[in-house]
Amino acid sequence: MTAVTVESVSWRIGAVPIVDDVTLELAAGEFMALIGPNGAGKTSLFNLISGLRRPSSGRILLGGGDVTGLAPYRRARLGLGRTFQTSAVFGSLTVAENVALAVQARRGGAARAWRRRSDRQVTARAGEILSEVRLSPRASATAGSLAHGEKRKLEIALLLAAEPNVLLLDEPMAGVSAEEVPALVAVIRDLAGGSGRSVLMVEHHMDVVLDVADRIAVLHHGALLACDTPGAVMADPFVQEAYLGESL
Ligand SMILES: Nc1ncnc2c1ncn2[C@@H]1O[C@H](COP(=O)(O)OP(=O)(O)OP(=O)(O)O)[C@@H](O)[C@H]1O
């Protein structure tokens, strides 16, 4: 089953192709990394998938359904979650309160009946999510007091509260200290897979990419240069040639 299909998608500004005829499929449960040098079009492709931009041509499908014309919030309702570099965390509330609010917001919006149900269910779900992102020991800390890596985990927790089946992660390691990277990688690695959740992640740290990705998609000047297993991509002569002297 395919979670996301990008079908011959191009996005042009004037005559300049920023994303150039990209076709790729993210399978259910798959972890795919999207790499490429600065300006390759990674963020633009994320914007096209999440609906912030409309393609000049081509189609975007979620779970097999065409969402090319749908606004971002409609795609979110269909199970697409995206992290941004800027954080939407309430710094003066505790970690647990932040997650509980996000769970409540989702449930309140989804069905009125939830309002009549006990707060305990919200607290329980928030607790499960905190456990999944390994933040339970920090549940009663104020969000504003978290280290960068912990804040990233909280942002992921807020995303999970919407119960997405596809996650778009935009440079989750950015700004995180080297000591915090392994703990954050451990959380991110487990986001896809058994749950059926799929992840598409833009990340510049190649050690992280090679650690977590089932497949790596390589963008180069807006076009898809390769999309294969980490071993095959690293051995690809076109990838090597394209990146000779350039940092991935
Ligand atoms: N709204 C826009 N108007 C004009 N040019 C744009 C716009 N958005 C993106 N671009 C250009 O498109 C190209 C791709 O940008 P994009 O941010 O998608 O690349 P990226 O691979 O995410 O880069 P980085 O790794 O630096 O984040 C860049 O040359 C950028 O300047």
CA-based Rg of the chain, rounded to a whole angstrom?
Answer: 18
pLDDT in tens, 20-45: 999 999 999 999 999 998 899 999 99
Quote the ligand 1 centre to 11 CA distance (angstroms).
11
Beta-bridge partners for 26: 4
For residue 103 and ligand 1, the question of a CB distance below 6 A is answered with: no
Quote the ligand 1 centre to 94 CA distance (angstroms).
36
d(CA 160, CA 154): 10
Quote the ligand 1 centre to 92 CA distance (angstroms).
34
Whether the per-residue pLDDT at 246 is higher than 70: the answer is: no
ipTM of the complex: 0.95
pLDDT in tens, 189-240: 999 977 789 999 999 889 999 999 999 999 999 999 999 999 999 998 888 8
pLDDT in tens, 101-110: 999 887 765 4
CB contact at 8 A, 197 and 29: yes
For residue 16 and ligand 1, the question of a CB distance below 6 A is answered with: no
Walk me through the domains of the chain, giving residue ranges and CATH numbers: 1-79+164-248 (3.40.50.300), 90-163 (no CATH)
- Cβ-count burial of 196 within 10 angstroms (0-12 exposed, 13-18 middle, 19+ buried)? exposed
DSSP annotation of 175 reads T
